[in-house]
Amino acid sequence: MTALPRTMTAIEIRTPGGPDVLTPTERPTPRPAPGELLIEANAAGVNRPDILQRQGGYPPPKGASDIPGLEVAGRVAALGDGVTNFQVGDAVCALLAGGGYAEYAAVPALQCLKVPKGLGMVEAAAIPEAFFTVWTNVFERGALAPRETFLVHGGTSGIGTTAIQLAHAFGARVFATAGGPEKCKACRDLGADVAIDYRKEDFVQIVSDRTEGRGVDLILDMVGGDYVARNLKCLSLEGRLVQIAFLKGSKVEIDLLPVMLKRQLLTGSTLRPRTPAQKGAIAAALRTRVWPLLEARTVKPVIFRTFPLAEAAAAHRLMETSAHIGKIVLTVR
């Protein structure tokens, strides 16, 4: 094993603010605690929650690194005590609670998966956050079943591109909303049966028209605000609404009577504060159910653009324009 450097380059949030507060810095190279892997990163995914964290609105959970970054891919550089299912040199991708914008990251082995065969490090780094989130919210919490109808908002987000592909692959009929014709085409290319340009079209009306008034069985929503009431209008009898973010706000006034009358479920979740064991259970499900689809290229992470680690601020600026389709990834080495 090559000796680990004493320090590494990382990107820190100098102070809460705009993209320019993301600053390259030198930090001590982490050492793996018992049960952890140290990953020498090749690439790190950028996610919308990183922007919230940079702005000061999404602090890392207790014990997590203050360095942003929720996912990396790279090679195992060292093993903590008790890790037996990985070896130094293995190509892995990992879901982190923080610390991804760096040359090295220490992470519980439970949250790591071998890079799917045939995928490169940039693609692998774009997998964990979106695939863990979609799996646990759409298939576990939302219990999406084959032949059910599914609506995802933000269809071209990292989360949306993953949700469309997985729901389609598991036999659901998929509706997606996105802003503009190019984004709608991308949703259809990924497997959406119906793509709705929310800037020009009313998704409530289109869902009603295309389901003969029945509504969809499951909605994955990151928008909130006025979408909450509109979502309930296009949810079927026994339908489920899973909330994973509130880009338009979380305080709303709605009439809950239809929820009772139509026996609907409103729920939501966040991934980051869950325990390594809970994240490990999601990783295990992904390994069995989704890794074969990634290796067969039936589903794939959609890479929009890469930036060198030192240009993390430019990556955030791009994400804030919402011009991207799929994932933005930082290349580390």
Please name which of 112, 32, 35 lies closest in space to residue 74, comparing C-alpha atoms.
112
Residue 324 near residue 305 (C-beta atoms within 8 A) = yes
Residue 213 near residue 102 (C-beta atoms within 8 A) = no
Q: How far is the CB of 251 from ligand NAP (least distance, A)?
A: 15
**One-character DSSP codes across 216-244:** EEEEEES--TTHHHHHHHTEEEEEEEEE-
Decide whether 91 or 318 has the Cβ nearer to ligand NAP: 318
CB closest to ligand NAP, residue no: 157
Residues between 206 and 265 that touch ligand NAP (CB under 6 A): 222-223, 244-245, 247-248
Could you say whether residue 196 binds ligand NAP (CB under 6 A)?
no
Could you say whether residue 55 binds ligand NAP (CB under 6 A)?
no
- Residue type, position 139, single letter: F
The rounded distance, in Å, linking the Cα atoms of 93 and 283 is 11
Please name which of 177, 164, 175 lies closest in space to residue 138, comparing C-alpha atoms.
164
Q: How far is the CB of 142 from ligand NAP (least distance, A)?
A: 12
Binding span for ligand NAP by CB under 6 A among 86-94, 105-113, 176-184, 283-291: 176-184
Classify 259 as helix, strand or coil: helix
Q: x/- binding map, residues 314-333, to ligand NAP, per CB under 6 A?
A: -----x--x-----------
Could you say whether residue 157 binds ligand NAP (CB under 6 A)?
yes
Residue 136 near residue 282 (C-beta atoms within 8 A) = yes
Helices 158-169 and 181-190 sit at what angle, rounded to 10 degrees? 40
Could you say whether residue 270 binds ligand NAP (CB under 6 A)?
yes
List 27, 168, 183, 316, residue binding ligand NAP (CB under 6 A): 183
How distant is the alpha carbon of residue 46 from its chain centre?
9
Could you say whether residue 278 binds ligand NAP (CB under 6 A)?
no
List 158, 215, 239, 301, residue binding ligand NAP (CB under 6 A): 158
Cα–Cα separations (whole angstroms), residue 258 to 51, 214, 229: 35, 14, 10
Could you say whether residue 156 binds ligand NAP (CB under 6 A)?
yes
Decide whether 23 or 278 has the Cβ nearer to ligand NAP: 278
Q: x/- binding map, residues 10-39, to ligand NAP, per CB under 6 A?
A: ------------------------------
Could you say whether residue 271 binds ligand NAP (CB under 6 A)?
yes
Q: How far is the CB of 245 from ligand NAP (least distance, A)?
A: 3
Could you say whether residue 133 binds ligand NAP (CB under 6 A)?
yes
Could you say whether residue 159 binds ligand NAP (CB under 6 A)?
yes
Beta strands in the chain (DSSP E): 7-13, 22-28, 36-46, 71-79, 91-95, 104-108, 112-114, 149-152, 173-178, 194-197, 216-221, 235-243, 265-268, 303-308, 327-331
Q: Summarize as ranges the residues that interact with ligand NAP (CB under 6 A).
A: 47-49, 129, 133, 154, 156-159, 178-179, 183, 222-223, 244-245, 247-248, 269-271, 319, 322
